[in-house]
Structure 1
């Protein structure tokens, strides 16, 4: 098996420069963070105020004071232009009531009046062009010296038609110093000439990034018809406009990955603070409860930037009717507090080494020699998998290695992505298995020798076992060093297996392979276990273990969920330490591992506590499976987990010694009295 270990070590060494270049990508570029507010939401809130335009102007100033220097502008619609107080819209029925003149009962048109001459000058051509392109007739209309248009389309349908962004809003926001981010949809028929004119115009207003509005990117037709999409990519490169990728979407927008690749991954990750999130700040709350929620929002923004490579935070808000207070409320003041209050997000983000400004893409550091390094990583990963198998059935080790090399080569031909993910998952899973097998063997030897310091041995064994588990990290980082993982355009699938398989494998090893038995004896032992009678107590225990396992898996991986209490505890740790260690490591797995190793010197069955430590070892590797988290953050998280785990483990040992010594001291006295 030594030759396998040498191959594993070569793979680890090859991953070090790869990891270094990834850290250079993460730390050397893309350090600007941009807070963006939804301009349409601001208009909708203003629509409920007594002086809408004054409200908008006031809030734009407040937004800038609070560190929000970017506004998101949608493609214009008639409804949005009405919210901006640029036009008024009427149906045929409403126009009849307004003009007091009969209109044909068979007519169902849209009537528009411009609020002022500036609106007509800037918007009439825009509206006419949009509707005539859909073969809807547009003609002039006047009411009491106020100019307007009649669009031969129903009001409801006309309200859905998208146009180029409002030029008046573009000019106003630019003059007030806002950076503009455009929400671009694929609702209009793609026309390359018109799109080029639009992008050239947007570039003049300083637009450098789109946020896709809808389920498909501009130019997308189908996965086989890519002509328009490729044209869109060329235009975006020409006018230096990138994309924002919204995190936690159920499905990626169609065409997004291809468009991102075509523009050389000029993409930033975006975190969305939704209208529903904002409503939670307008509920009936005490001052203390509101302060806690504001703090939670602030923590959320900081964590997104530091832990998940978020570079754009998109803020939404909505006015809410509060019947108890008899008011219409909005969360704007609370949002401002979360950004620039006493413990505001912006100050903390800047303290972490980021600067406020238009979000920029990562400048990828990726040398050509990485292909050669990944060849060594490939061989090392297969060797680690074969090495793990050798601890169970040593006779087939060479066969497993050869089959692994041939099989993985075939997988590479089929899909390079599946190849890299499969090897990373295999190596990442096997490392904690090997580490725990060696720990179990060490505990068994310690029980037989019963020599040395118990506490020193327990701490040393945890550190040694964790160092072996870290081997899996080298292969995950080295094999999956692609910008697509950092931007979550591609995800590391099967992370839940990384948690489950080590637990199953170690339980299997302890039941059948812990003792020095022949293969025949192991088979007989397995048959005996399978033929054992099952009591009701066993069924209850199995149900409890299954429930615990389901909960454990439900909150692990890239899409894991956590309870409200755990989120609160996480927030406390984050605010106290700056980087939060993983709860299951420092509070459960590592301390129980130390307690088990401490007790194993005297008690053979204490190895069961050590076995629980497999959860912590798998978690160490899983920390780096979150590929959108910077390497530095993940590394500090592991160190914190071990440090606090050791301290809490010592506390567990102290409690054990107090209990056991009290038992030994007082039990004879109580028995004597009785």
Structure 2
């Protein structure tokens, strides 16, 4: 029975090898990243007296590839003097006789400027019934128009500045189109304009602004619709973007409501974006390090660099020339820090990856066989029940494509594989067997990770539209399971509670307590890290390309090696150390549950951890031998007097 299950497990894993290779190849082929800066920041430097050509030349030489362009708004048109803006207070001061007429009205006034008639007509059309011409004029004799609504109306997108886009393209820059959710039936021509820009200038990347993507319901009083309208709007816009061949940019660490819908509907046309604010009071090295790590380790393909801060200029801490030079130097440093395997240019989406139903079924059989192998150690009937449950649930996922089942299976594998890796080493015969058990444990953990990668397979996981669920459970469950398993296999342990405590037992318990305490402190994204450790991490990354995980090579693996040595020497309670050892293999599996991290990089990280962990474990054995010799030679004789 065990041999049959082992054969099924191995064959099930190997059958999915083409898909591991496919994902690795897709990640390796997508090696182009781009640096994008806001076009508004270009205007910012111009407003502070720098020549436009000077700024663009600096940015081009620094390696900026594209500008993110937003549609014109009342605010931007007023700043560029394409129209004149009056708030209600200023209007009433100029026209006191109108105070009574507009005393209960909420809104503001605009007037056209000479030479911008066409743009002003677009503005009127964009506000529909919310704008009306008044009987009043400004000091230049231009008619005043009243726009009803709050200040949010000044940020409503009106039209893209085609002349500006043409100018930027002529300078050799790409265009990323930014769009907010403030689009309604009156300014919906913007969407057709986006299609025109994509066709004319190749601008096929879209970056949403604000907390909600285009098509989500707006806040009152802008939106008065219901959920059905929300679904219709989202479907309309996602269909449009899909038909036009647009890609959407996903901002890391910033969840925009509704973005997941775009991610699923557009399939592989999602690019990951990491945003950097060069003036949020961090050292320049931190921006360079963050950007390089994002491209290398998290599949970031767009770096959005906020390079201008008017507040710093107003405070006098920087001059415009100094800020421009500093921004250019930082961008240049980012390019230098990113490994040579990546090139700078226009970022492209990952090629589409998918798997047929037979591959899913092969994965299910592998999980069922692994489950059976583990449960056979406990009870034969229980093993049959476990196998049947996995086959039925897995078949439902494979046939009906129920994603929740796939995630549940992935979590299940992540929980049991570390236990299997450690549990197979409860009996160690000699030194060769110790090394063999270590290799087998690593192989089992890697095989389990392989299964998780194939279970959660698709572009939505590659770019973190969707992800592995249950990381917190994965941190704790293997420790609990291995403890229960050890108690089941060593029921005689309960008798030790009646015996006197020995020194080596205290040492073992102290090691376990220290390891678990350190593990709990270091688990999760919010764990604190000392300055010295940050320097060590940076040095390891510089030397090794990617640093191994501390929980693996400093805790889990050395404890595992040491535990197997003590088991080999016949220490009765040495198996207790396996509770700490399971942390290393849990961390190995956890590495591969970060599905947005390139497979090759995760594998390299794991190999480093296994090699260094083995060496440190062997060193720990050597130190233990010295300690035992010292104990027998110096301490034991004194205690026996």
Do both share a fold (TM > 0.5)?
yes
**Partner Cα separation in structure 2 for residue 468 and residue 76 of structure 1:** 57
Closer/same/farther in 2, CA of residues 668 and 469 from structure 1, 3 Å limit: closer
CA contact (8 A) 2:393 2:405 kept: no
**Aligned pair partner of 1:339 in 328, 331, 352:** 331
Matches within 5 A, 1:242-261: 242-249=247-254, 251-254=255-258, 256-261=259-264
Give RMSD over aligned pairs.
Answer: 3.7
**Aligned pair partner of 1:349 in 320, 329, 338:** 338
**Aligned pair partner of 2:387 in 369, 389, 401:** 401
Partner of 2:501: none
CA contact (8 A) 2:108 2:148 kept: yes
CA contact (8 A) 1:114 1:146 kept: no
**Partner Cα separation in structure 2 for residue 650 and residue 335 of structure 1:** 49
**Partner Cα separation in structure 1 for residue 610 and residue 327 of structure 2:** 37
Cα displacement string for residues 244-292 of structure 1 (whole angstroms, at most 9, x for unaligned residues):
122223x4521x333344434311111122x4x63123xxxxxxxxxxx
Whether 1:306 aligns to 2:292 is no
**Partner Cα separation in structure 1 for residue 80 and residue 422 of structure 2:** 64
Partner of 2:442: 466
**Partner Cα separation in structure 2 for residue 183 and residue 324 of structure 1:** 27
Partner of 2:189: 194
**Partner Cα separation in structure 1 for residue 201 and residue 565 of structure 2:** 67
CA contact (8 A) 2:357 2:398 kept: no
Partner of 1:239: 244
**1:328, CA displacement in angstroms?**
5.7
**Aligned pair partner of 1:94 in 75, 90, 95:** 90
Closer/same/farther in 2, CA of residues 457 and 610 from structure 1, 3 Å limit: farther
Partner of 1:33: 33
**1:201, CA displacement in angstroms?**
2.9
**Partner Cα separation in structure 1 for residue 636 and residue 216 of structure 2:** 82
CA contact (8 A) 2:35 2:65 kept: yes
**Partner Cα separation in structure 2 for residue 149 and residue 46 of structure 1:** 29
Matches within 5 A, 1:110-189: 110-112=108-110, 117=115, 120=116, 123-131=119-127, 133-138=128-133, 150-153=145-148, 156-189=151-184
**1:421, CA displacement in angstroms?**
1.6
**Partner Cα separation in structure 1 for residue 20 and residue 342 of structure 2:** 22
The SS at the match of 1:315 is strand
**1:366, CA displacement in angstroms?**
4.1
**Aligned pair partner of 1:635 in 592, 603, 624:** 603
**Partner Cα separation in structure 2 for residue 333 and residue 612 of structure 1:** 51
**1:626, CA displacement in angstroms?**
0.9
Closer/same/farther in 2, CA of residues 669 and 505 from structure 1, 3 Å limit: closer
**Partner Cα separation in structure 1 for residue 390 and residue 295 of structure 2:** 39
Closer/same/farther in 2, CA of residues 488 and 550 from structure 1, 3 Å limit: same
**Partner Cα separation in structure 1 for residue 21 and residue 358 of structure 2:** 16
Partner of 2:11: 10
The SS at the match of 2:37 is strand
Q: Which ranges of structure 1 fall in alignment gaps of 5 or more residues?
A: 282-292, 447-451, 530-539
Closer/same/farther in 2, CA of residues 326 and 185 from structure 1, 3 Å limit: closer
CA contact (8 A) 2:561 2:614 kept: yes
**1:473, CA displacement in angstroms?**
1.6
Partner of 2:614: 646
Partner of 1:265: 268
Cα displacement string for residues 400-430 of structure 1 (whole angstroms, at most 9, x for unaligned residues):
2123323444566776211222222222322
**Partner Cα separation in structure 2 for residue 141 and residue 358 of structure 1:** 50
**1:608, CA displacement in angstroms?**
3.3
Cα displacement string for residues 180-213 of structure 1 (whole angstroms, at most 9, x for unaligned residues):
1111122121479725531233222332111122
**Partner Cα separation in structure 2 for residue 148 and residue 64 of structure 1:** 43
**Partner Cα separation in structure 1 for residue 317 and residue 135 of structure 2:** 41
The SS at the match of 1:8 is helix
Closer/same/farther in 2, CA of residues 334 and 391 from structure 1, 3 Å limit: farther
**Partner Cα separation in structure 2 for residue 179 and residue 322 of structure 1:** 28
**1:622, CA displacement in angstroms?**
1.4
**Partner Cα separation in structure 2 for residue 237 and residue 671 of structure 1:** 80
Whether 1:422 aligns to 2:387 is no
Partner of 2:581: 613
The SS at the match of 1:279 is coil
**Partner Cα separation in structure 1 for residue 188 and residue 306 of structure 2:** 33
Whether 1:501 aligns to 2:501 is no
Cα displacement string for residues 98-156 of structure 1 (whole angstroms, at most 9, x for unaligned residues):
x6x65522347644466774xx256323322223x143114698766596853344783
**1:227, CA displacement in angstroms?**
3.6
**Partner Cα separation in structure 1 for residue 208 and residue 535 of structure 2:** 33
**1:355, CA displacement in angstroms?**
1.9
**1:36, CA displacement in angstroms?**
1.1
Q: Which ranges of structure 2 fall in alignment gaps of 5 or more residues?
A: 218-225, 499-509
Partner of 1:284: none
How many residue pairs match? The answer is 612
The SS at the match of 2:330 is helix
**Partner Cα separation in structure 2 for residue 55 and residue 496 of structure 1:** 53
Closer/same/farther in 2, CA of residues 350 and 592 from structure 1, 3 Å limit: closer
**Partner Cα separation in structure 2 for residue 280 and residue 618 of structure 1:** 37
Closer/same/farther in 2, CA of residues 195 and 154 from structure 1, 3 Å limit: closer
**Partner Cα separation in structure 2 for residue 267 and residue 163 of structure 1:** 26
